[in-house]
Structure 1
């Protein structure tokens, strides 16, 4: 006579592991990929800000600044928003810097406004460096940048040409012409 089939607890666990193992492995892999993408996004922001810290008007610099809110937003776990203290420090430093950038210069002397902006920007860089696990001191972030004076001169000249072109095209200023040599009419009068 055949005995009835019995399934022990260990048999049930083996069957369960066989069925759920691949599903769990895929979910874990997706989670690892998400963590990697999040870290890459944060590193991109940091690398871009470091590379463009001498030219803060560049479009890459502005784009990286505008990505801070997204890159350091935090995670959603089971429908709940979770943000680390380091991410919050980055966002707080960014909000303070953004508030400064959106404040008109005429509210305080220009040099004081620029100096305060430099300090706030260094605070943002430092907070991001800490969050992504890179070791930089504030002095290195503030002064460890190379920007040839010729670059600044070229940017100033381009801005001057742009402003003059706008004033001519808008009719605020006219083009001055100076005639040096007038061709003479040898055949005529």
Structure 2
């Protein structure tokens, strides 16, 4: 599914709704009596997972900017000894 009209924040909420829907359908097939509200309120998603995803997006965007010539990689040298004596 791809929709560029949805902002990353909206997609984050949509992703949760889709996961709740999936878990609800799985619970019904497995004969568990969980409603969607219970699943959504009990849903465990570590903050680190969201942070990792955000970092990966930033890295991909940064790399694309470098490859497209829109951004440069800063380089500096230190601790260089002169070979002249």
Question: TM-score, normalization: structure 1?
Answer: 0.33
Any runs of at least 4 consecutive aligned residues in structure 1 with deviations exceeding 6 A, and if so which? none
Mapped partners of 2:56, 2:47: distance in 1: 14
Q: Structure 1 residues 130, 153: closer, same or farther in 2, change over 3 A?
A: closer
Tell me the C-alpha RMSD between the 2 structures.
Answer: 3.4
How much has 1:105 moved relative to structure 2? 2.1
Question: TM-score, normalization: structure 2?
Answer: 0.62
Question: 1:149 maps to which residue?
Answer: 47
Spell out, residue by residue over 1:118-138, the C-alpha distance to the aligned partner (whole angstroms, 9 max, x if none).
Answer: 68534x347625763431112
Mapped partners of 1:119, 1:176: distance in 2: 38
Q: How many residues align?
A: 83
Spell out, residue by residue over 1:52-97, the C-alpha distance to the aligned partner (whole angstroms, 9 max, x if none).
Answer: xxxxxxxxxx8xxxxxxxxxxxxxxxxxxxxxxxxxxxxxxxxxxx
Structure 2 stretches lacking a partner, 5+ long: none
How much has 1:149 moved relative to structure 2? 1.8
**2:79 is the alignment partner of 1:178:** no
Q: Secondary structure at the match of 2:74?
A: coil
Structure 1 stretches lacking a partner, 5+ long: 1-61, 63-100
